[in-house]
Structure formats: C-alpha cells, structure tokens
C-alpha cells in the first residue's frame, strides 16, 4: 500500500501557439479545466498502475474541491483528505505548440494539510510513503522523520525545488528530481547535479529524470540508467508526476529499482503522447502492452 501526502489542485489549462511574454496577451486555441496537483497526479498514476493508494491532503469548502477530487475518489482512499477554510489549490498551465508548459500554482488548502492525518497504524501498513513539495515544508519534514522510524520506503519528489535541511534529505530512501531540481539541489549542497554525486553527498538514493534522455539513479552503491520511450510529444504536463507515481507503484509491489524505473519511463512516455494532466495518465494494461512491444 502507498500513502501519498501531497497536493490536490484544479488545473486551468490554456493551449496556444507560443508562450506569453511579459505584457503580452495571447488568444488560446483551447481551454479546459482538469483535476491536478503533484500529489493527486502521482497518487492517481500509482493507483492506475494497480497499487492500493491512500491520499492524504486538503481541499477547500468550495466548488473547486469536487473537481480536484473527482478522479481520486474513484481510484484511491480519500477518507483522509481534509476540508478546510482555505481555497482549493489551483494552477494556471500554459502549453505551446511544441508541448512545452509553464505553470503558476496557488497552493491554497495544500499549505494547511496536516501530516498528522497519517496515523501511526496506517503508517505501519504502508510499503511506500510518497511526498512532494507543494505542501507546508514543516509537515513534509515531520512525515519524513516518522517514515524513517517505520519499515516503509520514503520517496520524496523534490518538486518544486525548495531547500530542505540536509539531515532531513538524508533520511529519505529515494529523492526524485528533474534536471532543474537537481541543479538547485547540487547548488545547495555544493556538489555536482548528477544522481551519483547527489546520492554520495546525501548518503541516500537519488533518481534524476532527464526528459527525452530517460532517467538515471544511484542507490545502494549501484548506478542505473534507463532510456526514454520514443514518442511524439503532445503535452508534458503530467509526465513527471506519472513517472513518480508508477515508480512508487513498482516499488510497492517489490520490483527492483531498475525495473520500476523502466516501467515508470514507459508510462510517462504514454502520458506525453496525449493531451491533459490526469486524463493523460495510462492504466496498467496500457503500460504492460507498451512494455511488451
């Protein structure tokens, strides 16, 4: 079982030929509203890959809450998602004709989500605890410390990049970063941004995603490199979250890290080949089929 302590957002998605520049107004080709948030996306990706997932977070007492929760309710246990007075988190996502995106997030209710909602009995049942950085940093740190005392594997997606105490980072089993986040982390630690350098510096496992070049990891003294799936990119919005969620699902079912990474890379590739955030995330049957080709 996977516990995901993370953000729940509603995405306002604008598709245009190019990205807006400061002072510029563009007309979007298309607009849609979609469920999102790093925590919710990763929880859903894990659930669609076959994992049992408990979502822990917070939404507001507003009309956006139902949109943010609609896919999670169908796929995960949302009994520990709190209703609070802050507005439901939301994000403005701009996507250009090349599939690139720019995102601005208003955290709202996510910043008052409490890690105490992960009660000790639940924590002892989990194989994996998955966290990101769209919640209050102090709550993420508290949960990392608690997971360290349990038998569960802690996976921290350091996204968006935000400085955590080095001692806290070292308590994680696996830290997942993209290239920009790895550069930020390396800058804080005073080391190179590659997975091996970061892992050696922290004394823990580090996985770095490399976009179209795949991903690399260094954990328990082993270097792993896997390629990306070759696809025509339509929308990269949820690709990183899909990768992390499917990675967690693989670890939850006992796959070795390299196999979990290979599966996650294929699932992320499928997500890139489709438009949308949560709507682009594949299920386990689709991923199995792509892996067997």
Alpha-carbon distance of 239 to 276, in angstroms, equals 10
Report the run of H or E that residue 65 belongs to, with start and end: helix 63-75
Residue 113: both structure tokens together = 């989500």
Question: Which residues, 6+ apart, have CB-to-CB distance to 96 below 8 Å?
Answer: 16, 17, 18, 19
Residue 242: both structure tokens together = 């899909």
What is the DSSP annotation of 73-110? Answer: HHHSEEEEEEEESSPPEEEEEEE-TTS-EEEEEE-GGG
> Number of C-alpha atoms within 13 angstroms, CB side, residue 173?
19
SS3 category, 264? helix
241 is catalytic: yes
Report strand pairing: 174-177 vs 153-157. Answer: parallel
Give the sheet arrangement for strand 89-95, strand by strand.
Answer: 30-36, 9-15, 89-95, 101-106
Inter-residue contact 77 to 3 (CB < 8 Å): no
Alpha carbon of residue 117 to chain centroid: 20
Long-range contacts of 253-259 (CB under 8 A, 24+ apart): 253/50, 253/51, 257/174, 257/205, 257/207, 257/217, 257/219, 257/222, 257/224, 258/217, 258/224, 258/226
Catalytic residue among 49, 173, 241, 252: 241
The closest of 121, 115, 111 to 1, measured between CA atoms, is 121
> Number of C-alpha atoms within 13 angstroms, CB side, residue 19?
11
Supply the residues annotated as catalytic.
Answer: 241
């Amino acid at each position: 079982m996977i516990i995901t302590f993370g953000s729940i957002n509603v995405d306002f998605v604008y598709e245009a030929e190019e990205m807006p520049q400061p002072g510029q107004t563009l007309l979007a080709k298309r607009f849609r509203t979609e469920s999102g948030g790093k925590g919710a996306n990763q929880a859903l990706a894990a659930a669609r890959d076959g994992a049992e997932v408990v979502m822990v977070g917070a939404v507001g007492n507003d009309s956006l809450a139902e949109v943010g929760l609609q896919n999670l309710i169908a796929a995960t246990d949302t009994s520990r998602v709190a209703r609070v007075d802050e507005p439901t988190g939301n994000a403005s996502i701009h996507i250009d004709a090349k599939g690139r995106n720019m995102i601005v997030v208003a955290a709202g209710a996510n910043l008052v989500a409490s890690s105490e909602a992960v009660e000790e009995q639940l924590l002892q049942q989990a194989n994996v605890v998955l966290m990101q950085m769209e919640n209050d940093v102090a709550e993420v740190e508290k949960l990392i410390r608690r997971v360290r005392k349990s038998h569960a594997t802690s996976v921290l997606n350091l996204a968006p990049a935000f400085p955590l105490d080095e001692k806290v980072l070292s308590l994680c089993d696996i830290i997942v970063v993209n290239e920009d986040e790895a550069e930020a982390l390396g800058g804080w630690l005073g080391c190179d941004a590659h997975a091996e350098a970061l892992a050696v510096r922290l004394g823990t496992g580090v996985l770095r995603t490399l976009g179209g070049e795949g991903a690399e990891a260094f954990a328990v003294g082993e270097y792993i490199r896997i390629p990306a799936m070759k696809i025509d990119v339509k929308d990269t919005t949820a690709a990183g979250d899909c990768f992390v969620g499917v990675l967690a699902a693989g670890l939850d079912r006992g796959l070795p890290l390299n196999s979990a990474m290979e599966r996650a890379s294929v699932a992320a590739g499928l997500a890139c080949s489709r438009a949308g955030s949560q709507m682009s995330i594949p299920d386990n049957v689709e991923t199995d089929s792509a892996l067997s080709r």
